[in-house]
Amino acid sequence: MHVLQKHDQIVSGIDWSAKSNQIVTVSHDRNSYVWNHEGAEWVPMLVILRLNRAALCVQWSPNENKFAVGSGAKTVCICYYEQENNWWVSKLIRKKHDSSVTSVAWHPNNIFLATTSTDGKCRVFSTFIKGVDKRESKAGTSDSKFGEQIIQLDLSFSWAFGVKWSPSGNTLAYVGHNSMIYFVDDVGPSPLAQNVAFRNLPLRDVIFVSEKMVVGVGFDCNPMIFAADETGIWSFIRFLGERKISSSPSKHGSQFSEAFGKLYGQSKYGLSNDTVEPSRADGVIHENCIKYLSTTLLPSIYCYY
Amino acid sequence: MAGVQGFVEADNAEAIIARIEHKSRKIESLLKQHKPVEALKTALEGSPPATRDERCKSANWIVVHRALMAIKDVEGMFSSLDPEYYDILMKYLYRGLSTGDRPTCDQCLRIHEKLTERAGLGCILRCLADTVNTV
């Protein structure tokens, strides 16, 4: 087992590239390191992100020649490797976000990047870099220049988190802090958006298991499955964990039921003071909020906050 | 924080207040016919008014409050209330709870309990997180 120690503050984002076997980490210390496995050791290489606020999230691009970093400086850094100087260069997408960038996601074409922010919006940008990316003849990417905004989605009245593209890149999903999940098809000039509200606590991250199925994780500590039917309408299906009726609810659950019990117990009409049973699943494995979801390792790894 | 974008005033305040008064008359007649759930639905429709004007919001609240206090059978109400009304009802319940008036709070608390059972914590979250469409 290896301990990768270099950052001074909380490591807020991590991603492992499967093909090139590199790990990229970003931290609240405004730095990023790319770790290479040399022999028995993991060797870090500092990346000058040029941020003056914490880095919050990171993701390798599909071709693993770039990675994107979202930050509290309302900027996104797109980093690519320059062979001649043996370092990673950071190009900034600035003045496009009104608040912290909470999550980034790459489109399969390695050029489009979706971002979510605490300003409630989800945006898609082009990250085309001359010398790193090749111009495709497809209409979608041929005219885009670096940092150009393709689309802005203003569906949430609350902070937005956890954006992901479907495997084909046709559908975008992201979550809001208002217990909603947004699905957008045909991302482009005329997108089709669906707002799905659900009963539970907000999600923080999502992942596409297939073109028509999404798993979301968040404050309920119990992954939720959403799926699209034949007509393309998305809805909540069930929780991932089994619903076991256990006599001792998780620590989190009992705190809620006690609070509700006290609240309703004070009504003049003499409701009983028994605790109100929480209606959430009791097959809870996680004690704390699940913040990130990744399929780097099969089947998936959950990162705890 | 979520962007407080420039809010497009759909109508001027007078037009909105006129609509609310029209709603109020309809609600009174529904209550006389002992249809409290219909009255509540009518009150919740078109809410919150698409404006920043506090008078309009207060006028709408008075109308909703009238319909809320007339509800006697909370369980029965939920069996005929469509889920699309849950989020907006929750917002008004919190407004009611903030008044501090004993009968209002009791009523709102009773409805809140049942609504949370039905709509879940997500409904409360949506009510709290939405700083744009306040009631």
ipTM of the complex: 0.83
Are A153 and A254 members of one domain? no
CA distance B53 to A84: 61
Are A63 and A117 members of one domain? yes
Are A146 and A273 members of one domain? no
User: What is the rounded radius of gyration, in angstroms, for the C-alpha atoms of chain A?
Assistant: 21
Name the strands in the sheet holding A55-60, side by side, starting at the edge strand that comes first in the sequence. A55-60, A66-71, A76-82, A87-93
**Averaged over B114-132, what is the pLDDT?**
92
Are A185 and A261 members of one domain? no
For chain B, list residues whose CB is within 8 angstroms of any CB belonging to chain A: 1-3, 5, 87, 102, 106, 109-110, 113, 116-117, 119-123, 125-126, 129-133
**pTM of the predicted protein model:** 0.82
The tally of domains found in chain A comes to 2
Q: How far is CA B112 from CA A193, A206, A217, in A?
A: 30, 30, 26
Q: What kind and span of H or E run contains A156?
A: none
**Residue A91 counted as domain residue:** yes
CA distance A254 to B19: 45
Mutation target vs B (from A157, A174, A273; most B CBs, 10 A cutoff): A157
Phi, psi of B89 (to 5 degrees): -65, -40
- Could you tell me how many CB contacts below 8 A there are between chain A and chain B? 79
Are A111 and A222 members of one domain? yes
Burial class (CB in 10 A: 0-12, 13-18, 19+), B35: middle
* pLDDT score recorded for residue A221: 86
CATH number of the domain enclosing A181: 2.130.10.10
B8-66 pLDDT, tens per residue? 555 688 888 888 999 999 999 999 999 999 999 999 988 887 788 888 899 999 999 99
* Interstrand relation of A224-228 and A213-218 (parallel, antiparallel or unpaired): antiparallel
Does the beta-carbon distance from A201 to B122 stay under 8 Å?
yes
| B3, closest residue in chain A (CA to CA) | A119
**Residue A97 counted as domain residue:** yes
* pLDDT score recorded for residue B15: 86
Are A65 and A174 members of one domain? yes
Q: Which domain holds residue A260?
A: 250-280
Burial class (CB in 10 A: 0-12, 13-18, 19+), B117: middle
Chain A residues whose CB is inside 8 A of the B131 CB are: 157
How many Å lie between the alpha carbon of B26 and the closest alpha carbon of chain A? 30
* pLDDT score recorded for residue A305: 36
B88-104 pLDDT, tens per residue? 999 999 999 999 999 99
pLDDT average per 10 residues of sequence, chain A (305 residues):
92 94 95 94 95 96 96 96 94 95 96 96 94 72 82 92 95 95 91 93 94 93 93 92 45 55 50 33 54 51 39
Chain A residues whose CB is inside 8 A of the B132 CB are: 157
Residue A137: partners with Cβ closer than 8 Å, 6 or more residues away? none
**Residue A181 counted as domain residue:** yes
